[in-house]
């Protein structure tokens, strides 16, 4: 396989800022993380928050691995690898957002979850596949939604998303506002991913073939 054209280390805040949007390719698997993966990430994040502000030019001290993006399609970059991590980041930020006081603090996080357009309106920073996406927008990305989660997912719906949102709600319930702010800061400014972009088009076709084969293979582990 040919070398990728660009790879850079970016903080989560940088990843979710600006005009960039991400989309799960149609043939990719749905959201698959659960409590074990989220708990591991939260433990790392809490340890990072206890260490205090990052120092030096490279503010990322907790590395979440790589996020590989394909060529832009319909204004969004397809997520070839890293969809689970991106969805988990949005879930955590949305859960913290809904438990912070004051519109200003919540708006700052919301502006990372929704890309604003000139003239008003916006679109979700991360678009999941199929029915997952509608549920994700209504019960996670929409402000205040994680405080009013449904009792169960629709039949055949995103049960894993609901279970993850409920787990995070319990994890952050009762935490002091100061601790929530520290966790948000640690996640946004001291956590990083390796962003891999603009792979060769022929290699992208090969990766599409791999995703198709995975779609018919079972089971697969979460990222």
Whether 221 is covered by a domain: the verdict is no
- pLDDT more than 90, % of the chain: 59
In a domain, 1, yes or no: no
Q: What angle do CA 74, 76, 80 make, to 5 degrees?
A: 120
Does residue 131 register a pLDDT over 70?
Answer: yes
Q: Tell me which DSSP letter residue 193 carries.
A: E
Residue 5 contacts by C-beta under 8 Å, 6 or more apart in sequence?
197, 198, 199, 200
Residue that is written with structure tokens 């990052």 in the block: 54
* DSSP per-residue letters across 116-133: E-TTS-EEESEE-SHHHH
Pick from 70, 67, 93, 82: nearest CA to 32:
82
pLDDT of residue 213: 60
Residue-wise pLDDT for 154-200, tens only, equals 877 899 999 999 999 999 999 999 999 999 999 999 999 999 986 55
pLDDT confidence of residue 18: 85
Classify residue 223: in a domain, yes or no: no
In-domain check, residue 136: yes
Q: What is the pTM of this model?
A: 0.84
Using pLDDT thresholds of 50, 70 and 90, give the confidence band for residue 215. low
Highest mean pLDDT among 116-120, 140-144, 194-198: 140-144
116 pLDDT higher than 80: no
Domain count, the chain: 1
**Does residue 220 lie within any of the structural domains?**
no
Q: Is residue 204 part of a domain?
A: yes
Whether the predicted pLDDT of 207 surpasses 90: no
Confirm whether 98 is domain-assigned. yes
List the one residue out of 136, 110, 15 whose CA is nearest residue 68. 15
What does the H/E/C string look like for 9-52?
Answer: EEEHHHHCCCCCCEECCCCCCCCCCCHHHHHHHHHHHHHHHHHC
- Report how far residue 59's alpha carbon sits from residue 186's, in angstroms, rounded to the nearest whole number: 10
Alpha-helix runs per DSSP H in the chain: 12-15, 35-51, 83-97, 103-113, 130-136, 159-172, 177-189, 201-215
CA distance 223 to 221: 6
Q: Which residue range is the domain that position 18 belongs to?
A: 6-212
Residue 89 lies in a domain: yes
Q: Which two tokens stand for residue 166?
A: 């409920």
């Amino acid at each position: 396989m040919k070398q990728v054209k660009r790879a850079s280390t970016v903080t989560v805040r940088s990843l979710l800022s600006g005009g960039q949007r991400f989309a799960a390719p149609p043939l990719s698997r749905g959201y698959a993380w659960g409590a074990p993966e989220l708990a591991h990430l939260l433990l790392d994040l809490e340890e990072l928050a206890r260490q205090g502000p990052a120092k030096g030019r490279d503010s990322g001290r907790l590395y979440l691995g790589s996020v590989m993006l394909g060529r832009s399609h319909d204004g969004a970059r397809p997520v070839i690898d890293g969809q689970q991590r991106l969805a988990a980041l949005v879930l955590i930020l949305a859960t913290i957002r809904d438990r912070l006081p004051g519109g200003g603090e919540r708006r700052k996080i919301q502006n990372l979850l929704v890309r604003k357009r000139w003239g008003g309106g916006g679109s979700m920073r991360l678009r999941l596949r199929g029915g997952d996406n509608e549920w994700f927008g209504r019960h996670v990305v929409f402000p205040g939604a994680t405080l009013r989660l449904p009792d169960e997912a629709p039949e055949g719906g995103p049960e894993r998303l609901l279970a993850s949102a409920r787990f995070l709600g319990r994890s952050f319930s009762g935490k002091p506002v100061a601790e929530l702010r520290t966790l948000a800061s640690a996640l946004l400014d001291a956590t990083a991913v390796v962003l891999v972009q603009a792979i060769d088009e022929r290699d992208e076709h090969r990766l599409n073939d791999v995703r198709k084969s995975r779609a018919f293979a079972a089971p697969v582990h979460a990222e």
